[in-house]
Amino acid sequence: MAIPPDYVFSFMHPWVNIHTHKIRNLGIELLNANIGAPVNSGVTFSLGLHPWHIAETRLEEALKMLDKQAGNQAICAVGEIGIDRAIATSLEIQIRVFNAQHHIAEKHRLPVILHCVRAWSDLAALHKQMNPKVPWIFHGFNGSLQTAQQLIKLGCYLSFGTALLQQAKVKEVFQKIPAEYLFLETDDSDEKIENIYQKAAELRHICIDELKDIVYTNFVKVFGTRCTKTG
Ligand SMILES: [Zn+2]
């Protein structure tokens, strides 16, 4: 009996974990690493200076190192970088560091993975101002539907993680945004990416294979085929 082509197509698509701090060698995983970390181990990485670590970092050195490492084939994104209004580091410094890292992302044509705490409008304003050529992915999205819609209107992508298992508000947003802008992740949790997919598929009333198609298609659109190494 011939297997319907649709089935073969979806069967082949791997799990995609767009942002994790713990590698499991399952499907496509973007392991988040700090600047200077070794990046030659057959793993795909996002690399950047997190706003939490700005204060203790020698900035010029770190930025030079990021620029150097960004040329490595294992680096698929600059991140997580962004703005966090819940930390002591001033907004001005955070924006300066963000701009510098964004410049490196543009230079190497790497998508950006964003960390955002109470700074949706700051980052939306920066996006309008910078008009980036590289895609932006807001990781761990937990904002309002209105925020989600504003970011999507700018062409940004939203990645959802464990909040999908817990927060009613996030579940609702997830159900309402267009599929072409979705990613899924585990971040620093011990949750399995399969469980995030399971919940996400349930919320959107589709099967997991269909969801895998959606996320994989988005992945290839944003990252090209260079970063589709699977574990
Ligand atoms: Zn993270």
CATH of residue 51's domain is 3.20.20.140
Q: In this model, does residue 187 exceed pLDDT 50?
A: yes
CA of 186 to the centre of ligand 1 (A): 8
Give the largest Cα separation in the chain, rounded.
Answer: 64
Q: Of 94-103, 146-155, 219-228, give the lowest mean pLDDT range.
A: 219-228
Neighbours of ion ligand 1 (CB under 5 A): 187
In sequence order, the β-bridge partners of residue 47 are: 33, 78
Residue 64 to residue 114: CA distance in whole angstroms: 20
CA of 191 to the centre of ligand 1 (A): 13
CA of 27 to the centre of ligand 1 (A): 18
Residue 27 domain flag: yes
Residue 1 domain flag: no
pLDDT bracket for residue 10 (50, 70, 90) = very low
- What integer is the mean pLDDT of 49-54? 97
CA of 187 to the centre of ligand 1 (A): 5
Query: Please, how many CA atoms are within 13 Å of residue 153, restricted to the half-sphere of its CB?
Result: 9
Residue 178 domain flag: yes
Residue 230 domain flag: no
Q: In this model, does residue 229 exceed pLDDT 80?
A: no
Q: What is the pLDDT of residue 42?
A: 80
Q: What is the pLDDT of residue 12?
A: 77
Average pLDDT score, the chain:
93
What is the tens place of the pLDDT at every residue in 152-182?
999 999 999 999 999 999 999 999 999 999 9
- What integer is the mean pLDDT of 106-132? 97
Residue 113 domain flag: yes
Residue 213 to residue 149: CA distance in whole angstroms: 22
How much of the chain, in percent, has pLDDT values that exceed 70? 95
Residue 153 to residue 126: CA distance in whole angstroms: 14
CA of 32 to the centre of ligand 1 (A): 7
pLDDT bracket for residue 4 (50, 70, 90) = low
For residue 132, give both structure tokens: 């980036």
- What integer is the mean pLDDT of 57-81? 96
CA of 8 to the centre of ligand 1 (A): 33
Residue 136 to residue 32: CA distance in whole angstroms: 15
Residue 198 domain flag: yes
Q: What is the pLDDT of residue 79?
A: 96
CA of 50 to the centre of ligand 1 (A): 9
Residue 150 to residue 24: CA distance in whole angstroms: 34
- What integer is the mean pLDDT of 52-68? 96
CA of 189 to the centre of ligand 1 (A): 9
How much of the chain, in percent, has pLDDT values that exceed 90? 87
CA of 71 to the centre of ligand 1 (A): 22
| Greater model confidence, 64 or 41 | 64
Residue 4 domain flag: no
Q: In this model, does residue 40 exceed pLDDT 80?
A: no
Residue 67 domain flag: yes
Q: Containing domain of residue 187, as a range?
A: 15-223
CA of 77 to the centre of ligand 1 (A): 13
What total number of domains does the chain contain?
1
In sequence order, the β-bridge partners of residue 77 are: 46
Q: What is the pLDDT of residue 2?
A: 53
Residue 152 to residue 175: CA distance in whole angstroms: 14
Cis? peptide before 185, omega within 30° of 0: no
Burial of 223 (0-12, 13-18, 19+ CB in 10 A): buried
CA of 22 to the centre of ligand 1 (A): 10
Q: What is the pLDDT of residue 155?
A: 97
CA of 33 to the centre of ligand 1 (A): 9
CA of 172 to the centre of ligand 1 (A): 22
Residue 139 to residue 113: CA distance in whole angstroms: 6
Q: In this model, does residue 146 exceed pLDDT 80?
A: yes
Q: Of 124-133, 205-214, 217-226, give the lowest mean pLDDT range.
A: 217-226
CA of 221 to the centre of ligand 1 (A): 22
